[in-house]
Structure 1
Amino acid sequence: MKTSNLKRLLVGTVSAAAIFASPLAASAQDMPGEGTTVRMAQATWDTGWFEAAIYKQLIEELGYTVEGPTTLDNPPFYQAVAQGDIDLWVNGWFPLHNTYQPTFEGSAEIVGAVAEGGALEGYLVSKAAAEEFGITSLEDFKRDEVKEAFDRDGDGKADMVACPPGWGCEIMIEHHMDAYELRDHVNTIKAGYSASMADAIAAHEAGEPILFYTWTPNWTVNELSPGEDVVWIEVPEVNLPDDMADLADAATREGVAGCVADPCTLGFPANDIVPVANTAFLDENPAVRALLGEASVPLDDIFAQNAAMNDGDDDVEAQAAAWIEENRETVDGWLETARNAS
C-alpha cells in the first residue's frame, strides 16, 4: 500500500472514531427519538390513564415528542392504529379485545405487556343481599324477589351497572345477557361508568342492594372490598363469544378473594393489559419497540394509584413521574435496552 493511501486510511479511521466518540453521537444515542413525534392514545376508562402516563414519560425520556394521549373508545382506536393515524396505546385488554383483531391484524401488533394475567372481570353483589337472598349466580336474578330487591328504577328488572357502548366489556356483557336469557330480568346501565358506580356506591352506603360489573385493577374493589362489602358471583356456565371460545378454561379461576365459590366461574377469561402499536411505526422506531417489550407496571401499583385517584388525587402525570423516580433503577435498565436497540 502506498504511503499516501495508508495516510488517508488512517486519517479516515481516526476521523470515524472521533465522530463516534463525540458528545454529539453520544447524545444521539441517548435521545434516539429526537425530532420524532409519537401520536399516543389512551382508553376512555380512567383506571388505565396511570399506565398511559408512565409510558408517555418513558418515551419522552428517549427524546421523542409525545402528542396526546388522545382519549379514544376501542373501535376508533383500533381503526386509527391500523391506518397509521395513531401510533400506539398501552390499554389493550386481551382476550377481551379479540373482537377488534381483524381490524388491525397485519398493520398493528401487540408488543410486550403492561401486566400479564391479573386483570380479572366479573359481576359483584352486595354481600348482605347475597346472604339474604341466597344469591350465588346471575341465574338468581330471574327470581322475582331478587329482581324486586335490586330494581331501583321501578321497571321490574334488577339494575346492574354495566359498561358504556364501545367498551370491550359491553360486548361481553351483551353476549351474556343473551346466552343466559337475562334480557327480561336485568337492566344494564350503560351510562358513564365512574358516575354510575358512584351512584351505586351511594346506594350501597344507604343500605340498598347493588349489582355491578367490574374489572381489576379498578378503584371499585378498593371502595367496596370483595368478601367484606360485596362478593363475586358466578355465571350459570361459561359461555364466550366465538372469538374467545378456546379460552373457556381461563374463565374459571382459583383463589379469587371474595368469590362465593372456589374455583370461581367468573365467566370472563383473565386478561393481559398490553401495548398495541402500528407496525410500520415500530419498524421505524426500534427504541420504542424495545421499550414496550421491556416495560411493565405491577398490578398492586395500579390498584394503589386508582384508589388515590378515587380519593381525589387526580394528578395522573405527577403520580406517573413519582412512580418512575421510585423505580428509577429498573426504569433506567429499560431505557438502556431501548437506546441500544436504536
Structure 2
Amino acid sequence: MLKYLRMTGIAAISLATFTAFAEAKTKVTIGELDWPGSRAIEQVLKQVMETYLDADVGTIAAAQEALYEALDKGDGTVDIVADMWTDHLPQQMKNYVLPGGRQTIILNDTPYLGTEGIFVPTYVVEEHGVKALADLAKPEAAKLFDTDGNGKGELWAGAVGWESTNHTQVRGKTDGFDKTMEYTTVEQAVFLAQLKDAYENKKPIVFYYWTPEWIFAAYKLSKLEEPEFNGYTTEGAKGSERYNEKGCYTFYQPQERNDWLEASKISCGQPPTRVNIAHSKAFAERAPKVSQFLKQVKLDADVVNEWILAMEVEKKPVEEVAKAWIAANKATIEGEWLKGTQ
C-alpha cells in the first residue's frame, strides 16, 4: 500500500508538473493569407516558435482587412500577420502603425522587398539588347515578341481583371509602345506554360510579374529598366512618405474616373514594396520574448522565391519546406532571429 501511495504521489506530481508546463506555453495565433509566399513564412515562424520559444501556435484564415482589425483589437484572435505588404496598405498603416495613429501594430525591423515590373528572360537582354521598357516602342525591338505575324509584339499584362493590366496600358501610352505592342490577358497558368516553352527554346517573351514568385528561382530573368521613382501624385497618396505632387506616378482606377487612361501617366518604375511581419502590441506585452523574435526576423525575397518553387513546382508540403530550411539555417535563426530571447 505504501509503495502504491508513493507511486500515486509521484504520478500526481508528474501530472501537475506536466499540466503547469502545458499551461505555461505561449498561445499564438497567426492570421493566414492565401498566397504561397505567406503560407511558407507562416510555417517557418510557426516551427521556430514551437521549437525554440515554447509556443502553442494555431492559425486562422480571414480577409486581410479583418486580420489587421483583429491585430488592432489585441484580444488574441489574431496575434501575427506574417506577410504584410505595408506599402499597399496606406490606410491600415495610418490607422494602426504610424505615429498619430493608434500604434497597435508592430512591424519587424527589416522588411523584405517585393517588386513589380515588366520582365524578359536575361538572354533577351544579352542577345538582343532590349534592356529598357522604352525599347518596346522601337519597331525592331517589338518585332522580336511578335508571335502571330501581325507586326506587333505581345506583352502579357496579367490576367483579365488584374490591376496590373491597367498599369501596363498607362505605361504603354506614356512610353509609346502602345503603338508597337499588344497586351495579352490569358490566365496565369496559360502564361506560365508559354514562359516555360519560350525559356526552353530561347524565344523572346516579355511580361508583367512580381516578386517573390517561383519563376525567379527557376529562370534567369531581368526587369526592364525605367526611370527612378520619385513619388505618387494622386489624392489617395497624400499623407504618405511617397506622395509628391510633382512625382512621376499618376494612376487612376477605371472606377475613379471615366477618363482614367487619359488622366494617368506613369513615367517611372514602381518602387519596391516593403513586406513586413506584423504583430499586435497587446501580444508583445503578453509575450515579450516572442515579440523580440518577430521584430528580429529578417527575410529575403530570393529565399521566399525558393520556398514557393519547392511548394508550387516541386509539390513539396509547406511543412517539409519549412523544416528543411530551418535545419539548414540554424546559425541565422539562433544567432540573429532569436538573439537575446533564449
Aligned runs of 1:188-267 on 2, under 5 Å?
A: 189=185, 191-192=187-188, 196-226=191-221, 231-235=222-226, 238=229, 240-242=231-233, 243=237, 244-245=242-243, 267=269
Q: Match of 2:105?
A: 109
Q: Which runs of 5+ in 2 are unaligned?
A: 1-15, 72-76, 250-266
- For the 8 Å contact 2:117–2:269, the answer to whether it is kept is yes
- Distance in 2, Cα, partners of 1:197 & 1:113: 34
Residues 189 and 99 of structure 1, relative CA distance in 2, 3 Å threshold: farther
Q: Tell me the alpha carbon deviations over residues 71-103 of structure 1, each in whole angstroms, 9 at most, x when there is no partner.
A: x7xxx4144312456443221234455476346
Q: Tell me the alpha carbon deviations over residues 103-147 of structure 1, each in whole angstroms, 9 at most, x when there is no partner.
A: 655465342156545x55432224454567652322232344544
Q: Match of 1:302?
A: 304
Residues 100 and 320 of structure 1, relative CA distance in 2, 3 Å threshold: same
- Distance in 1, Cα, partners of 2:111 & 2:268: 19
Q: Identity rate of aligned residues, in percent?
A: 21
Q: Match of 2:137?
A: 142
- Distance in 2, Cα, partners of 1:293 & 1:171: 36
What amino acid sits opposite 2:192 in the alignment? M
Do structure 1's residue 57 and structure 2's residue 47 form an aligned pair? Answer: yes
- For the 8 Å contact 2:138–2:177, the answer to whether it is kept is no
- Distance in 1, Cα, partners of 2:292 & 2:85: 20
Q: Which runs of 5+ in 1 are unaligned?
A: 1-21, 252-264
Q: Match of 1:289?
A: 291
Name which of 111, 117, 125 aligns with 1:122. 117
What amino acid sits opposite 2:40 in the alignment? F
- Distance in 1, Cα, partners of 2:81 & 2:67: 11
Residues 146 and 58 of structure 1, relative CA distance in 2, 3 Å threshold: same
Q: Match of 1:38?
A: 29
For residue 234 of structure 1, report the CA deviation from its aligned partner: 1.0
Q: Match of 1:159?
A: 155
Residues 175 and 80 of structure 1, relative CA distance in 2, 3 Å threshold: farther
Name which of 325, 331, 336 aligns with 2:327. 325
Could you say what the CA RMSD is over the residues aligned between the two structures, in angstroms? 4.4
- For the 8 Å contact 1:32–1:287, the answer to whether it is kept is no
| Range with greater deviation from structure 2 (210-219 or 149-158) | 149-158
- The TM-score normalised by the length of structure 2 is 0.63
Q: Tell me the alpha carbon deviations over residues 313-336 of structure 1, each in whole angstroms, 9 at most, x when there is no partner.
A: 422211212222334465456558
Residues 40 and 175 of structure 1, relative CA distance in 2, 3 Å threshold: farther
Q: Match of 2:84?
A: 92
Q: Tell me the alpha carbon deviations over residues 214-235 of structure 1, each in whole angstroms, 9 at most, x when there is no partner.
A: 4444322232214xxxx33212
- Distance in 1, Cα, partners of 2:230 & 2:173: 10
> The residue matched to 2:55 in structure 1 has which SS?
coil
Residues 310 and 281 of structure 1, relative CA distance in 2, 3 Å threshold: same
- Distance in 1, Cα, partners of 2:159 & 2:290: 32
Q: Match of 1:19?
A: none
Name which of 59, 63, 66 aligns with 1:67. 59
- The TM-score normalised by the length of structure 1 is 0.63
Q: Match of 1:14?
A: none
> The residue matched to 2:33 in structure 1 has which SS?
strand
Residues 277 and 198 of structure 1, relative CA distance in 2, 3 Å threshold: farther
Residues 153 and 96 of structure 1, relative CA distance in 2, 3 Å threshold: farther
Do structure 1's residue 77 and structure 2's residue 64 form an aligned pair? Answer: yes
What amino acid sits opposite 2:185 in the alignment? I
Aligned runs of 1:311-322 on 2, under 5 Å?
A: 311-322=313-324
